[in-house]
Chains A and B, each alone.
Chain A
Amino acid sequence: MHTVLIIDDNDINLTLAKALVQRLGDCQPLTFDRPREALEWCRANEADLVVVDYMMPDMDGLQFIAAFRALPGREDIPILMVTANDQRDIRYEALEGGANDFLNKPIDRVEFSARARNMLALRSSRKFLADRAHHLEVLVEERTAAIREREKELIVRISRAAEFRDPETGAHIQRMAHYSHLIAQTLGLPERDCRLILEAAPMHDVGKIGIPDYILLKPGRLTPEEFEIMKGHARLGYELLTGSGSAVLQAGAQIACSHHEKFDGSGYPGGLVGPAIPLFGRIVAVADVFDALTSERPYKKAWSLDDAAKFLRDGAGKHFDPDCVEAFLRSWEQALAIHQRFRDAEEPVF
C-alpha cells in the first residue's frame, strides 16, 4: 500500500485529489491543508508520493519542497506539484528545487492517474533497488560471519589437535588466550588486534603435533638432544600455519614462531632481541609462562599466583618484554578473574 501525501489549503482540491488517489488502487491518501503540519508528519513518516499545491498561505509549494528535500532520507521521494498552466516560471523554479513532475489545474483524472502512477512506479523501483542492496549487504554480512565462525571453529580444532598430544589442557589454552587479550588491551592495541591475538594465541603450540611422542610425553627431564627436537615445535607451528590468507592464521604463525623468544635474545628459534621479537610473541610469552606456572601438571604443583607474578617481574627485561609484564600486572584483578573463569575440563568458548 502506497502512502500519498496531498497538501493543499483548499478543501475542494484536497477532496478531489483524495478521491483520485483512492481510485488509483493500492494507495492510501493522507491530506493536509497546512504545509507546516505536513512537513511535521514527514519528519517521522515516509510517504511514497507527495502531491503539493503551489499557492498556499504561510508556506508555498516551493518552500515546502525545499524544506521537504532537506529532511534526511527524503531526497528520492517523488513530488508532483500542482500549478496553473500560466505559472511557467514557478515550474522552472520547482524543478530546480526538487519537484519531479507537475499537474495542471484543473486536475484531470487521466493525467493525474498517469503521472501519479509513473511517480509511484519510480518510487517502487528505487525502493526495490535500495532493499535489494540492503538485502545483499545483510547476506554478505551473514555469509562473512558464517565463514568467520567456521574459521574460528577450525582454529579451535587445530589447537585441540595439539592438545591431544600434549598434557596441557583446553583450559590452559583458554586462559593464555585471554591473558594475551588482556595484555593487548592494556597496552592499548587496536580492537582488531586484540581480537586477533585472542583467536590466534590458542595455536601457539600447534607445532607439537610434529614432535615424537617419546619426547613430548616423556615424564622425566629431556636430554639436550631431545630438547633441541622439542624446540623445533616453534618452527613446525610456523610452517603449518604460514602462507594462509587468513589474518588469524597469519597471526597464529607469527605467535607459534616467536612465543619462545626471550627479550634478552636467549630464546629460540631465532634468538631475536627486544622489539625484533613480534609484539604478539612477546605478549603470548608472558601469558603462556604465567599460566604454565600457575597450573598443576602431572610432574609439578601449581605455583601461587603471587609467586608467578614475582617470576614475571624478575624476568622483565630478560625473559619478558617489561612493557608486557607491566601491562599484565597492571590488570591484575582482571587476570585473576580469567584465572577463576576458565577452570580445567571446561569446553572451549571463544
Chain B
Amino acid sequence: MSERLVLDKATILDRLGGDEEIFTVMADMYLQDCDNYCRELDSALGDDDAPRLYREAHTVKGLLATFADDAGTALASDLEQRAKVAASTAGFVAEVAALKARMSLLADALRQDGGG
C-alpha cells in the first residue's frame, strides 16, 4: 500500500454533480469524525465484537467509497466480509490497523486539498 493517497477529486466531484460546497462540507465532517471511526474499529476489536466490527467496516467502506478511495474501499470491504462470518475479531488486528492507516491517509489528502 502506498504511503501517500492521491485524492481523486474529479471522480468525487463528478458524483456530486460538481458541487464543491457539498464536497467541502463532507470533507470537513470526515476530518472531524475520522478519529471516532478509528476508535469504533479499535473498540469492536478490543471487545472481540465481530458483528460490530462488521458494521463499522461497512460504514467506513461507504465513507471511503464516497471519497473515491477505491483501495481503501477494498480494504474495508474485505474486512467487512470476513468479520461478517467470523466468531471472533482475533485475526483482524492487522486488517484494522491497515484500514485505520488508510483512513488517516485520506484525512491527510483531504486536509491538503483544503489547505488545512
Contacts and interface: CB of A to CB of B under 8 A. Distances in A.
Contact of A55 (B21, B58, B63): B58
Measured as residues with beta carbon below 8 angstroms from the partner, the interface class of chain B is 20 to 34
Given A10-B62, A12-B29, A57 B22 contact: no
Contacts of B16: 16, 109
A106 B19 contact: no
A344 to B, nearest CB: 82
B65 A106 contact: yes
Contacts of A57: 55
Contacts of A182: none
Given A12-B29, A19-B25, A55-B58, A109 B63 contact: no
A23 B16 CA distance: 11
Interface string B62-87: 11011010000000010000000000
B55 A20 contact: no
A108 B26 CA distance: 14
Contacts of A106: 15, 62, 65-66, 68
B96 to A, nearest CB: 18
Contacts of B104: none
Contacts of A230: none
A106 B68 CA distance: 8
Contact of B22 (A16, A108, A110, A113): A16
B61 interface: yes
A107 B22 CA distance: 12
B29 A109 contact: no
Interface in A8-47: 9-13, 15-16, 19-20, 23
Nearest to B18: A109
B116 interface: no
A148 interface: no
A84 interface: yes
A110 B19 CA distance: 11
Contacts of A16: 16, 22, 26, 66
B22 A105 contact: no
A10 B59 contact: yes
Given A55-B55, A106-B62, A107-B66, A12 B15 contact: no
B62 A84 contact: yes
Given A12-B66, A55-B55, A55-B58, A110 B17 contact: yes
Contacts of A23: 17, 19
B33 interface: yes
A15 B62 contact: no
A12 B59 CA distance: 10
A57 B55 CA distance: 8
Contacts of B65: 105-106
Nearest to A56: B55
Nearest to A111: B15
Contacts of B33: 11-12
B59 A19 contact: no
A12 B55 contact: no
Contact of B26 (A15, A84, A86, A110): A15
A15 B29 contact: yes
Interface of B: 15-17, 19, 21-22, 25-26, 29-30, 33, 55, 58-59, 61-63, 65-66, 68, 77
Q: Which A-B residue pairs are the 8 nearest by beta carbons?
A: A109-B17, A106-B65, A106-B66, A19-B22, A108-B15, A12-B29, A105-B62, A109-B16
16 contacts: A10-B62, A12-B29, A12-B63, A12-B66, A13-B66, A16-B16, A16-B22, A19-B22, A23-B17, A55-B55, A57-B55, A105-B62, A105-B65, A106-B66, A108-B15, A110-B17
Given A10-B59, A109-B19, 6 more contacts: A12-B33, A13-B62, A55-B55, A84-B58, A106-B65, A109-B16
